[in-house]
A and B are shown apart, each in its own frame.
Chain A
Amino acid sequence: MVTILYFARLREALGRASEQIALPAGVCDLEALRALLRQRGGAWAVEMADGKPVRAAVNQDLARGDTRIGDGDEIAFFPPVTGG
């Protein structure tokens, strides 16, 4: 299982703050996970579409599409940050 967190505008658009899912075989990096979520359709297809400026973190470190993921990871998807 992995925990997925959603923040800010993404959380509102997707209608959830967090979830736990079992990673299907073959889903071993962030890009693959994003593609999996996109297949849910609706807001997921829109928000996770290629070209959307979605940022991600794995275990609280900024990550990229080719960052590996596995059981027990805390994964987060969010819009570009706007603090300061």
Chain B
Amino acid sequence: MKRRVLPGLHLTLGLTLLYVSIIVVLPLGALVYKAASLGFVDYWRIVSSGRSVASYRVTVLCALGATAFNLIFGVALAWVLVRYRFPGRRFVDALVDLPFALPTAVAGIALTALFAPNGWFGAYLAGIGVQVAYTPLGIMVAMAFTSLPFIVRTVQPVLEDLDPALEEAAQSLGGSDSIIFRKVVLPLLTPALLAGVSLAFARSLGEFGAIIFIAGNQPFQTEITALLTFIRLEEYDYQAAAAVASVLLITAFVMLAVTNLLQARALRYTQRA
């Protein structure tokens, strides 16, 4: 039998392509065009300048630190939410999405108020000689806050679907809890975990609003790449802004490819299980 074709292909696809072209493809194309029109020598001079490289280092190292924290805390949080029943569990579950719902600028000034040397946590931390706000540690706090939901929300469903029989079998074979976690549970979580980690890391690399309030923004010390792009714009140095932004764009595309690959793997893995 010949399949009846639904109406609306031309309208909806046309609309979609128009929107995507104007809103997504055109601006990104313009940015790439601008960066490419610099010529290789100028481009390389800008993206490999000391200040640019220092900003990559700060951004990447802080994103790694934030992601490492979220890896541990995110898994613990997902585990507690899935495995245990306690008063307020649903409340905590809803709170996990707060970093997505709270505007980044609001998160930025709130975290700064907490961690500034005279803030609630900052004053205490200053007593033990730790300064968070206006140091790379502050950048990590902001990145960790904004990217926490990615890891919790990717690990949670996999943990929910985990077959209890696997743990039961491992226990009947005499494995201790920590061995079973490492040898049975963790390998099953790994694909989802990798996908969550890459999402969180990518988000941290591009984060701006939450960071600039708490970072201190000292060139070479606490200046992230997104901020350097913004500063070049304010200096009307559009070529440098285009070049540095293109580095962020390329990084985003690489992370997108990595994430898609990991997600496809995670999906295959869970479907097989």
Task: Specify whether A and B are partners.
Answer: no
